């Protein structure tokens, strides 16, 4: 059964909008790994999630590793871009505290710290495209498969 989903985004507003659609469906305890080169929309997407959670200003945490904001659910926004050396820093951050049932954890550059992230997660791969960006959703676990299925029926309602 195909469970992944690829979406195209033609503008920042669309990227943000997809984030809002994901955010509106979160219940707490979800882990979302964002992977892809600089400038592909990971922060823009995360801001959409934040808005849907009732958090108006989720600025990028590039200079601090993790930001924590309170909305309908608590949002931990992790950015692993500047983590260096990774192994040492990650042990000092207490990232495992971000994985709790009443919080959402969104991780930019998750591929850099994947071994510290639970394997049940929604992986989203971002890429540049000629007319914007591409987002590939890869659900790992039942919870995330049903989330991606909902997104799929939103964009292709006849399937
Ligand atoms: N589909 C799109 N087409 C064009 N620009 C986009 C698109 N989605 C997002 N952007 C813009 O790309 C820039 C980089 O986005 P950002 O979220 O900071 O990337 P990242 O966090 O992956 O480095 C921002 O100015 C954002 O508004
Ligand atoms: Mg970013």
* Residue whose tokens read 């992790």: 78
**First-residue to last-residue Cα distance in the chain:** 14
Q: How confident is the model at residue 51 (pLDDT cuts 50, 70, 90)?
A: very high
Say what percent of the chain tops pLDDT 70.
87
128 lines ligand 1 (CB under 6 A): no
Residues with CB in 5 Å of ion ligand 2:
42-43, 60, 108
Number of continuous H segments (helices) and E segments (strands) in the chain: 4, 7
The tens digit of pLDDT for each residue in 123-153 reads: 999 999 999 999 999 999 999 999 999 999 9
CATH superfamily membership of 5-154: P-loop containing nucleotide triphosphate hydrolases (3.40.50.300)
Chain centroid to CA 23: 9
Say what percent of the chain tops pLDDT 90.
72
Taking the C-alpha atoms of residue 112 and residue 149, their distance in angstroms, rounded to an integer, is: 27
Taking the C-alpha atoms of residue 36 and residue 20, their distance in angstroms, rounded to an integer, is: 19
Which of 40, 41, 58, 63 has most ligand 1 atoms within 8 Å of CB, for mutation? 41
């Amino acid at each position: 059964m195909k469970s992944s989903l690829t979406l195209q985004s033609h503008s920042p507003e669309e990227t943000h909008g997809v984030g809002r659609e994901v955010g509106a469906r979160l219940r707490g305890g979800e882990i979302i790994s964002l992977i892809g080169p600089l400038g592909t929309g990971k922060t823009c997407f995360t801001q959409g999630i934040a808005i849907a959670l009732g958090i108006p200003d989720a600025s990028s945490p590039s200079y601090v590793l993790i930001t924590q904001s309170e909305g309908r659910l608590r949002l931990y926004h992790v950015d692993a871009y500047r983590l260096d050396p990774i192994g040492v820093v990650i042990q000092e951050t207490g990232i495992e505290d971000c994985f709790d049932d009443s919080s959402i954890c969104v991780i930019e550059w998750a591929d850099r710290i994947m071994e510290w992230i639970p394997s049940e997660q929604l992986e989203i791969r971002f890429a540049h495209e000629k007319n914007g960006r591409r987002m590939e959703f890869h659900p790992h676990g039942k919870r995330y498969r049903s989330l991606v299925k909902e997104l799929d029926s939103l964009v292709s309602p006849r399937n």
